[in-house]
Structure 1
């Protein structure tokens, strides 16, 4: 811990995947504002592991507070302070956070290192190059009945 007055990361309940990270400072985020928020924590992860900083779902649902680069990645070799890039997505309300407030959650996971090999072409697959909504997932509203377009 870089700040002994703050509680260290902790799991709120048994079985939780994410340990809560707290703000080391008081901070207010106006609508649309983002800020790098220090947590007072530094960690040493073993090789083969990484930390991933996720938004807290309650703050996201109630206040529109999110992590810009979600999840933020903490590599095993990083030894600096864990900081969180918070974004207030609310269009009208400022979010006020006090020192010690839980602002994000840290998930530690095993990660693999890949060996990258350059090839001229990739093997075929069922999905192919389809991405970004290529599997559907929603029913489009017919243009003639779309209230957004006045039709």
Structure 2
């Protein structure tokens, strides 16, 4: 197992008594983040849920904000821009954009787990403009070109 990467975290006044994001199990890839506010999401509604935290992510990393699978399956609550990206140079409050795809209002209480945070390395691209690209078996075949779900058997 690799050594953990240190991420500076600042508790904001409305998050002083809340737990820091943490891993639920030793093998977990994502840390559970909790809400620092009470909010009800009506069906179809979106809201940037406050966490009461701001971060200094090391250069060369990002934090990906991902939905919690149980909220998505049981209630239709998800992160609409999955995965959301928190860049290393952002210093504002970490907020989790949630949307209610369910048919009922969904209440979030302060302290409820609302998302998972995954620390991930970032590699920046350097564009190399060319006049032609190399050929592949797939070529320009796009959406569905490798077969539909029936092909999976």
1:82 counterpart residue number: 94
1:49 counterpart residue number: 61
2:83 counterpart residue number: 71
1:98 counterpart residue number: 109
| 1:15 is aligned to 2:27 | yes
Give deviations 1:47-71, integer Å, cap 9, x for gaps. 1111100000011111010001000
For structure 2, the 5+ residue unaligned runs are: 1-10
Q: Work out the CA distance in 1 between the residues paired with 2:63 and 2:141.
A: 30
For structure 1, the 5+ residue unaligned runs are: 141-151
Give deviations 1:31-61, integer Å, cap 9, x for gaps. 1111111111211111111110000001111
Higher alpha-carbon Rg: 1
Counterparts of residues 130-149 of structure 1 (less than 5 Å): 130-139=141-150
* Runs of 4 or more consecutive aligned structure 1 residues displaced over 3 Å after TM superposition: none
TM-score, structure 2 normalization: 0.86
The count of aligned residue pairs is: 139
